[in-house]
Chains A and B, each alone.
Chain A
Amino acid sequence: MLKYIIPLILFIILAVFLALGLSLKPGEIPSPLLNKPAPQFSAPKLNAPEEKLTPADLKGKVWLFNIWASWCVSCRAEHPILNQLARQQAVVIVGLNYKDEPINAKKWLDTLGNPYNVSIMDQDGRIGIDWGVYGVPETFVMDKTGLIRYKHTGPVTAEDVQQIFLPLIAKLQTES
């Protein structure tokens, strides 16, 4: 009897591990920045490069920090979702135009719509490194005190907005 039970148990253990392996998403690397203050930056605005934006300017507001680029294919898929979210005016959306040409970025916003309250530029990718960005698009949810409360890697879907973003934003809006 034992002769049959031991291989069976080994098989079950192996199957469980393989099943866990299948459900893992190796593309999603947990960010060590969660619940930490926003990494500092002082970045020129896309539409007015002489003006700078820093995280301190957004104190007291719940905001999304969306990293995007005109060369990024999945950003295009995500864009209508962001436009829709922007129309609801539930949250301030800040865009980080990552390693992009300002002309291309402006053209993109002109043709596809601009969901961002403000877009800032990170042409050499340094702000990206400070925020641990590795796959555009990425979206951070920031609370009123300037802490990173959530990080989403890859394009945000309509489902993500309904199930994750809107509930979290509503919760953060009630926090002081």
Chain B
Amino acid sequence: MKHLLFVFLLMLSCSIYAVDSRQLSDPKQQESYETLTSELRCLVCQNQTIGDSNAELAADLRRQVYEMLEQGKSKEEIVRFMTDRYGDFVLYKPPFKGKTSVLWIAPVVFLLVGLITVFFVIRRKKAVASLHPDAGALQRDVEKQKKIRSLLEKGDRS
């Protein structure tokens, strides 16, 4: 049991430590380093950032980011350096462009279509309820059931 608990704790620990730690003297640059490594995709293991990945290429790209920051390059310059070589795919957050517009707009369109559908369905249901003479019948049924239930409860007591 103790061993099992230990193994479980080990599993938890994995997500906590960084793959490697490079420290830049300027805290602002350090912040840029951390955001950049969490926004750039590792191209070998495509669903990890270069900050998360153990792949060799990710390590090389981290080194590249680190060196460029040390040279005083801005975040934009580093991102451009990466996209010039690897394309927009290297960015976890693709830029809004003609090619990627569907990617950005589609969720909004789907949401709107959903809301409009829900709106019409509700309106139609309401219209049916108010027009139909049987609509009252349902209400009567509910009252009847209430009566039945109260009668049953009374029966239980006696």
Q: Which residues of A contact B (CB under 8 A)?
A: 26, 29-33, 39, 99, 124-126, 128-135
Contact = CB atoms under 8 A, between A and B. Distances in A.
Given A124-B60, A125-B60, A129-B64, A134 B44 contact: yes
B46 A26 contact: yes
B43 A32 contact: no
B153 interface: no
A125 B85 contact: no
Given A26-B46, A134-B44, A128 B60 contact: yes
B156 interface: no
B60 A134 contact: no
Contacts of A125: 56-57, 60
Interface of B: 43-44, 46, 56-57, 60-61, 64, 83-87, 89
Contacts of A31: 87
Nearest to B61: A129
Contacts of A133: 57
A29 B89 contact: yes
A47 B89 CA distance: 36
Given A125-B60, A130-B85, A134-B43, 20 more contacts: A26-B46, A29-B86, A30-B87, A30-B89, A32-B83, A32-B84, A39-B85, A125-B56, A125-B57, A126-B60, A128-B57, A128-B60, A129-B60, A131-B85, A132-B85, A132-B87, A133-B57, A134-B57, A135-B43, A135-B44
Nearest to A26: B46
Contact of B86 (A39, A124, A134): A134
Listed from nearest, the 3 A-B pairs whose CB atoms lie closest are A134-B43, A132-B85, A32-B87
Contacts of B61: 129
A33 B85 contact: yes
A39 B86 CA distance: 13
A133 to B, nearest CB: 8
Nearest to A27: B46
A152 to B, nearest CB: 16
Nearest to A34: B87
Contacts of B87: 29-32, 132
A116 B87 CA distance: 29
Contacts of B85: 32-33, 39, 129-132
Contacts of A30: 87, 89
A96 B83 CA distance: 22
